[in-house]
Amino acid sequence: MALKNVIELGVTDVRACVKVDDALPGIEEGHNAGMWTVGLLLSGNEAGLTLEEYQYADAQTLQVARERAQAKLQQAKPHYLIDTVADLPAVLAQIEQRLLAGERP
């Protein structure tokens, strides 16, 4: 689906694309398409928390959920792991700098 979207959007360099996902297959899809990959630790399925549970969770609960998701997502070796999409702008800035330096996913 990620590569299909790239083609439909007319993107000319897939290496400048970022696949953000909360599950192992999505991260693998990004790698297979040649994209940068970002895994979501707390705002995704692997954390096992509903939105309400996340919003009211204490630090220990969040840490346990983060570690659970990280153990799963690390299997796909994402370029970055972040808690939620609120953390994404900083990662995109880092990726932009890496691209300017000639790095590729």
Q: Are 53 and 5 in contact (CB under 8 A)?
A: no
pLDDT digits (tens), the chain, 105 positions: 888 898 999 999 999 999 999 999 999 999 999 999 999 999 989 999 999 999 999 999 999 999 999 999 999 999 999 999 999 999 999 999 999 999 999
pLDDT at site 23: 95
Q: Considering the domain boundaries, does residue 95 fall inside one?
A: yes
- The reply to whether 22 sits in an annotated binding site is yes
pLDDT at site 33: 94
Domain that holds residue 84: 2-100
Q: Are 44 and 82 in contact (CB under 8 A)?
A: no
Q: Considering the domain boundaries, does residue 61 fall inside one?
A: yes
Q: Are 65 and 49 in contact (CB under 8 A)?
A: yes
Contacts of 72 (CB under 8 A, 6+ apart): 24, 46
Domains: count for the chain: 1
pLDDT at site 67: 97
pLDDT at site 36: 98
pLDDT at site 2: 87
Q: pTM above 0.75? A: yes
Q: Considering the domain boundaries, does residue 105 fall inside one?
A: no
Query: What's the burial of 20, exposed, middle or buried (CB within 10 Å: 0-12/13-18/19+)?
Result: buried
pLDDT at site 8: 93
Which domain CATH number covers 30?
3.40.50.1000
Q: Are 43 and 54 in contact (CB under 8 A)?
A: yes
